[in-house]
């Protein structure tokens, strides 16, 4: 088994950590913890990209020396990753001497092969991206990522002969079909390369905050040449065999290297980085995983846009492990996702408290203590039946599938498999009714049932450890088991049934995941700055027939008027109200602010039917909102024609779509972002929600 080396992007320290950077870092930590549990030598790297014009300008804006600025700004990242219980092995800063020295070695190796030459560069440059763009890349003359004006730059520059590596990269991709994931993004990379590559400017002379080019200190290295090398310099490479033990152990071909990056920086990692390495005669990384964006108000979460959520308050209110679980569970790795407080609360109360927490409590806290003096009963083979065989088979299947998903960098799918076992174990308790066995004094059958449940919990406690290390340790402690301690060569994944030793003394404790009631939900949201006062201006319509009543906002008949709803940044609960048997209607999904036209089973939301403009769904809203942004998204109300079956039809092409394939009208709670209009359609009056 090859050593495993996973890296996060190195983050810009021009602002503090946010949920987007936390997402990447937690994902890397989950993968590292999993591999360590399997007994595999594993290493995790994170750090900061501290060079470039963006950092120099941020320091200047604060009136600080640039090095002093980066020294100050690295502390919040270290503190955040410690708070979120990420166990990285190394924290690289590109201003460190160890990094500078090895980057210059890489430069010398490439220039010795004739792949770097001196020339002059003129084109558009985005300081926020630290990226050059051609005219065709721009959106109305602005950066395609930040949507901000960019600068025209002309200066002397060293160039890397990227144009030389098009065919070599395509051949490398062909031999390594899993080099980039997800596959759709790999196709985009290959298409870009096939269109032809231009030589790449790899030095700057218009500022000095960077690593000097060897033998020509007038130039500093282009920040991406500098930054990409961190994955190797943190191991002491590039180096000759025997000179850098970590490089020898973890870099290919000896090790497996996985870079976790955001999709916006995939081109640098999947094209520039392997081209640099191929030029230098070094093997590229094993795999690059490009995850999607976490959005707020429909835009990429970005320090440049200033719309990020810091992780610390969320961890304080909901708990570190709950936040870790939510980020890995709610967002398919590799896809875009929205952060939604409502979904976090729903998963806490549902999957964690009612699911896993209840499973532990309903057997351990009472039956084990009263019937078996708090000790794990022995399995009784003669008392087994088909229910027991089914649960055991399900546990082994789920453990195998969860491992496969983690091996393929699919943490969301792994958690789905783990929670299939949680659900199966809860169904088993419902069917076997151990409390009834106690009353009937069926001791042997009770022993068997209780052992089955406790053994399922033992397996679950191992499988959740990479995601929720503290909660996994607490669960194991209640089962009377020690905390997991990874050891090289020792595979502790639950591949077999029966690992829980009989007569183990259990130690019942407080609820693993306390459920939040409605008052606690409001208090939690208020602590995060989301107010708890009635929102009396939730909908702002041109001439709305809108009347606030107490804590609710009633949306009434609009008649023939076409209105426009301005959604605001505030949590909301949509409560279902009967709407009668109107022939044409649209179904709106809602999960405390997740509003979209779609199928009723998606998102776990409460459904509201808006029929022909006559429905009056009650919108119970809490918080004080403010208008964030107006953006029109048109949706047509489709007459059902079949007695009221729910249907919907988007009329604007190219809209983002949810997991259920619907076209979203709004955003999730805490990030309501758009103006949405439902125009008049045949058979329906216009209705706006």
369-381 mean pLDDT: 96
pLDDT reported for residue 409:
96
- Reported as a single tens digit per residue, the pLDDT across 647-667 is 222 222 222 222 222 222 222
More confident residue, 158 or 641: 158
* pLDDT band, very low/low/confident/very high, at 671 (cuts 50, 70, 90): very low
* pLDDT band, very low/low/confident/very high, at 207 (cuts 50, 70, 90): confident
74: pLDDT strictly greater than 80: yes
Euclidean distance between CA atoms 363 and 372, whole angstroms: 11
CATH superfamily of 4-116+165-189+222-337: HUPs (3.40.50.620)
Euclidean distance between CA atoms 540 and 588, whole angstroms: 18
- Reported as a single tens digit per residue, the pLDDT across 100-144 is 999 999 999 999 999 999 998 776 777 666 676 776 677 777 877
The architecture in CATH of the region 340-478 reads: Orthogonal Bundle (1.10)
590: pLDDT strictly greater than 80: no
pLDDT reported for residue 143:
79
**What is the residue-averaged pLDDT of the chain?**
78
- Reported as a single tens digit per residue, the pLDDT across 529-574 is 764 332 222 222 222 332 322 222 222 222 222 222 322 222 332 3
Same CATH topology for 4-116+165-189+222-337 and 340-478? no
pLDDT reported for residue 648:
29
Euclidean distance between CA atoms 358 and 662, whole angstroms: 33
For residue 359, give the nearest of 440, 428, 437, 431 by alpha carbon. 428
82 Ramachandran zone, left/alpha/beta (phi>0; psi -120 to 50): alpha
Contact between 341 and 530 (Cβ < 8 Å): yes
Report strand pairing: 565-566 vs 675-677.
antiparallel
pLDDT reported for residue 288:
98
Strands (DSSP E) along 97-176, which ranges? 116-126, 131-133, 151-160
More confident residue, 537 or 210: 210
Domain boundaries defined on the chain: 4-116+165-189+222-337, 340-478, 546-677
294-298 mean pLDDT: 62
Strands (DSSP E) along 293-395, which ranges? 294-296, 299-300, 337-338
Handedness of CA 368, 370, 371, 374 (dihedral sign): positive
Tokens of residue 234, six digits: 């943190």
């Amino acid at each position: 088994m090859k050593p495993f080396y996973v890296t996060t992007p190195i983050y810009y320290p021009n602002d503090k950590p946010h949920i987007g950077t936390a997402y990447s870092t937690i994902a890397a930590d989950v993968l590292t913890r999993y591999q360590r549990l399997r007994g595999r030598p594993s290493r995790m790297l994170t750090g900061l990209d501290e060079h470039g014009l963006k950092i120099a300008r941020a320091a200047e804006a604060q009136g600080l020396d640039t090095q002093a600025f980066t020294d100050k700004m690295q502390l919040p990242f270290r503190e955040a990753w410690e708070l979120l219980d990420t166990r990285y092995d190394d924290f690289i800063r590109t201003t460190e001497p160890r990094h500078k020295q090895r980057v210059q070695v890489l430069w010398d190796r490439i220039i010795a092969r004739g792949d770097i030459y001196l020339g002059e560069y003129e084109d558009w440059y985005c300081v926020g991206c630290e990226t050059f763009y051609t005219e065709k890349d721009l959106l109305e003359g602005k950066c395609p990522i930040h949507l901000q004006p960019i600068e025209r730059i002309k200066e002397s520059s060293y160039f890397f002969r990227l144009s030389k590596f098009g065919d070599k990269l395509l051949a490398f991709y062909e031999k390594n079909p899993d080099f980039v994931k997800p596959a759709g993004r790999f196709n985009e990379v290959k298409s870009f390369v096939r269109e032809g590559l231009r030589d790449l400017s790899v030095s700057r002379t218009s500022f000095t905050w960077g690593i000097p080019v060897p033998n020509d200190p007038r130039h500093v290295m282009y920040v991406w040449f500098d930054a990409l090398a961190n994955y190797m310099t943190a191991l002491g490479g590039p180096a000759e065999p025997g000179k850098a033990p970590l490089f020898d152990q973890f870099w290919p071909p000896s090790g497996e290297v996985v870079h976790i990056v955001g999709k916006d920086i995939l081109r640098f990692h999947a094209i520039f980085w392997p081209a640099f390495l191929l030029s230098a005669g070094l093997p590229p990384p094993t795999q690059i995983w490009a995850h999607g964006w976490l959005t707020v108000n429909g835009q990429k979460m970005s320090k440049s846009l200033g719309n990020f959520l810091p992780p610390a308050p969320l961890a304080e209110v909901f708990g570190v492990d709950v936040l870790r679980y939510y980020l890995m569970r709610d967002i398919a790795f590799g896809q875009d996702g929205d952060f939604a407080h409502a979904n976090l609360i729903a998963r806490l109360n549902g999957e964690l408290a009612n699911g896993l927490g209840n499973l532990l409590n309903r057997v351990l806290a009472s039956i084990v203590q009263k019937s078996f003096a708090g000790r794990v009963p022995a399995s009784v083979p003669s008392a087994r039946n088909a229910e027991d065989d089914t649960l055991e088979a399900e546990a082994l299947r789920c453990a195998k599938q969860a491992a496969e998903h983690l091996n393929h960098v699919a943490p969301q799918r792994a958690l789905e498999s783990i929670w299939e076992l949680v659900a199966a174990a809860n169904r088993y308790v419902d069917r076997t009714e151990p409390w009834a066995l106690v009353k009937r004094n069926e001791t042997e059958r009770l022993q068997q049932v209780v052992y089955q449940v406790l053994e399922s919990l033992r397996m679950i406690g191992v499988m959740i450890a990479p995601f929720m290390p503290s909660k996994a340790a607490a669960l194991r402690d209640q089962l009377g088991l020690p905390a997991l301690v990874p050891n090289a060569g020792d595979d502790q994944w639950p591949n077999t049934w029966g690992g829980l030793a009989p007569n183990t003394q259990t130690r019942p404790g407080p609820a693993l995941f306390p459920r939040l009631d409605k008052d606690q939900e409001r208090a939690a949201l208020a602590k995060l700055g989301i107010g708890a006062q009635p929102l009396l201006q939730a909908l702002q319509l041109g001439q709305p027939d809108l009347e606030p009543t107490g804590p609710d906002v009633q949306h009434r008949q609009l008649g023939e008027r076409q209105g426009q709803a301005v959604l605001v940044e505030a949590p909301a609960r949509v409560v279902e109200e009967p709407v009668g048997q109107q022939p044409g209607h649209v179904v709106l999904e809602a999960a405390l602010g997740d509003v979209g036209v779609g199928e009723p089973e998606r998102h776990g939301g409460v459904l509201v039917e808006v029929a022909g403009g006559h429905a009056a769904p009650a919108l119970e809203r809490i918080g004080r909102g403010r208008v964030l942004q107006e953006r029109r998204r048109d949706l047509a109300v489709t007459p059902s024609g079949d007695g009221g079956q729910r249907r919907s039809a988007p009329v604007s092409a190219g809209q983002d779509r949810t997991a259920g394939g619907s076209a979203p009208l709004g955003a999730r709670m805490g990030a309501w972002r758009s103006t949405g209009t439902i125009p008049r359609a045949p058979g329906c009056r216009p209705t706006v929600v």
